Structure 1
Amino acid sequence: MSASAAPLPFPSPASRERFETLVAEADAVSVDGWDFSWLDGRATEQRPSWGYARAMADRLGRAHAALDIQTGGGEVLAAAPRLPPVTVATEAWPPNVARATALLHPLGAVVVADGDESPLPFGDAAFDLVVSRHPVTVHWPEIARVLAPGGTYFSQQVGPASVFELVEFFLGPQPPEARRARDPEDARAAATAAGLDVVDLRAETLRTEFFDIGAVVYFLRKVVWMVPGFTVQGHLPRLAALHRKIESEGPFVARTARFLIEARKPG
């Protein structure tokens, strides 16, 4: 990115140089998979108190057949100390399918390329455990169908208006219906309507900080639904404004919403 390509106001040449260096670096790095370690030292996200990965691993250790929906690059599933004898993961994005396959096949898990649309490509009552971390969509009737009687769905999900401080910095104020989307009580109602019994539902609002503009670029490239169609060139003025804000005021702070839901199929 050259100065002539981005004629934007900066308080000093050094500030412009930092902006261009940070943005170029973050725009070039791979965003495949669901590993956010590139952000170490550049952004922080407070974790929910319930410890999803640990709790999921405990349930996997007691299951016979498990399905991980929207596994990403398979990183969370692969971290479990023990996988069930039958373990299947689905993923829609081709780069993540390849990444998850390479990571999970040596552990005995099968990765299925699935377009994240109903129906799920499995038979009725195929799994006694279905898990999903941060699913984009949740097809509750299909989850109920593939669960065996007595089986469990266990998921950590993104709650309403999560990181909307950042979303609205780029897109402006969002309508009320966008701010209340992903309400945990809507998930409870949908699970119940699908015939499942919700046995646990917890929600927390957590603190997220971005320490430099590169972290913001990387996050928006990776979590593509936050600012749909995000590109560096298409959002240069707002990126420059946020860079100046971080330099003058310190880390950009946003609130992250998470909820945990556990539902069981009667039987």
Structure 2
Amino acid sequence: MSIRPTHAGRPFGELVAEAAAAPVEGWDFSWFEGRATEERPSWGYARAMGERMGRASAGLDLQTGGGEVLASAPELPPLIAATEGWPPNVAKASALLAPRGVVVVASPEGAPLPFADGTFDLVTSRHPVKAPFAEIARVLAPGGTYFAQHVGPSSVFEVVEFFLGPQPEEVRRGRDPRGERAEAEAAGLEVVDLRAERLRIEFYDIGAVVHFLRKVIWMVPGFTVEAYRPRLLELHERIAAEGPFVAHSTRHLIEARRPRAL
């Protein structure tokens, strides 16, 4: 989907300064309106997650960000918790979700989940850095489900490689859904659905690129405007001359169940 860009004709310094000052907490992407577009996966993760939460008795949302996706669920289970590892997001998610009875727990990525075995019949996550399948299997009740949308391999690598250069093949293959299926099965889960799509992204001005790299910090680790100013200026001039910078995200939907007898 394309839109009419509303900021592309503005000066480089103005666009970059505005993007560098914009807040990046949470997973609210409304700042990109008029600046960038991204196709959405056909399966409608937020809607499908909300339907499952409405039927669950105990739910857990992993790496919830600012809680925006979980908050979109029309109904939540009687027992509902979320984890998040980045302190600014913990505060934002707590403020958003506490009125709906969600306990937001600060839990660093890679740490054991702070919940008892078999607590939840539904675990969800949208774009986890890495899904901890062994821990997910442990906290799921027998017959419980992990339902998530993951980032796939080489996602938005047009942007990554513009700034970092060509990446090793093992990096490009990271997050492969086939590998994640194997990890889930090794943890004792049964994968019942796995779908992948490649989706078009258009960046209409350099401010959108700066905001994206500040928000999705693992794309170009250590990104700052000062460190990458020459490349940013080059990309700004390219967008001005050629139109939107096009990239592609990859996403996969995964649904896995804990057997009733592990």
- How far the C-alpha of 1:238 sits from its partner, in A, is 0.4
User: Which residue number in structure 1 is paired with residue 160 of structure 2?
Assistant: 167
CA distance, structure 2, for counterparts of residue 199 and residue 168 of structure 1: 34
- How far the C-alpha of 1:138 sits from its partner, in A, is 1.2
Q: Per the alignment, in what secondary structure is the counterpart of residue 234 of structure 2? A: helix
Corresponding residue pairs, total: 253
Structure 1: which amino acid aligns with 2:144? G
- How far the C-alpha of 1:82 sits from its partner, in A, is 0.3
- Cα contact 1:118–1:139 (8 A) shared by 2: no
Of all paired residues, the percent bearing the same amino acid is 69
Q: Scaled by the length of structure 2, what TM-score is found?
A: 0.95
- List structure 1 segments (4+ residues) > 2 angstroms apart after TM superposition: none
- How far the C-alpha of 1:139 sits from its partner, in A, is 1.0
Q: Per the alignment, in what secondary structure is the counterpart of residue 83 of structure 1? A: coil
2:20 pairs with one of 17, 27, 35:
27
CA distance, structure 1, for counterparts of residue 68 and residue 244 of structure 2: 28
Q: What aligned pairs does 1:186-225 form with structure 2 within 5 A after superposition?
A: 186-225=179-218
2:173 pairs with one of 180, 187, 191:
180
User: Which residue number in structure 1 is paired with residue 147 of structure 2?
Assistant: 154
User: Which residue number in structure 2 is paired with residue 3 of structure 1?
Assistant: none
User: Which residue number in structure 1 is paired with residue 249 of structure 2?
Assistant: 256
User: Which residue number in structure 2 is paired with residue 131 of structure 1?
Assistant: 124
The structure with the larger Rg is: 1
- Cα contact 1:118–1:142 (8 A) shared by 2: no
CA distance, structure 2, for counterparts of residue 183 and residue 221 of structure 1: 24
CA distance, structure 2, for counterparts of residue 106 and residue 171 of structure 1: 42
Cα 1:247/1:16, change in 2 over 3 Å: closer
User: Which residue number in structure 2 is paired with residue 4 of structure 1?
Assistant: none
CA distance, structure 2, for counterparts of residue 91 and residue 141 of structure 1: 18
Cα 1:17/1:40, change in 2 over 3 Å: closer
- Cα contact 2:9–2:240 (8 A) shared by 1: no
Unmatched 5+ residue regions in structure 2? Answer: 1-7
For each residue in 1:25-55, what CA deviation from the matched residue of structure 2 results, as whole angstroms up to 9, or x when unmatched? 0000110111010001100000000000000
- How far the C-alpha of 1:119 sits from its partner, in A, is 1.2
State the superposition RMSD in angstroms.
Answer: 1.1
- How far the C-alpha of 1:117 sits from its partner, in A, is 2.1
Structure 1: which amino acid aligns with 2:215? K
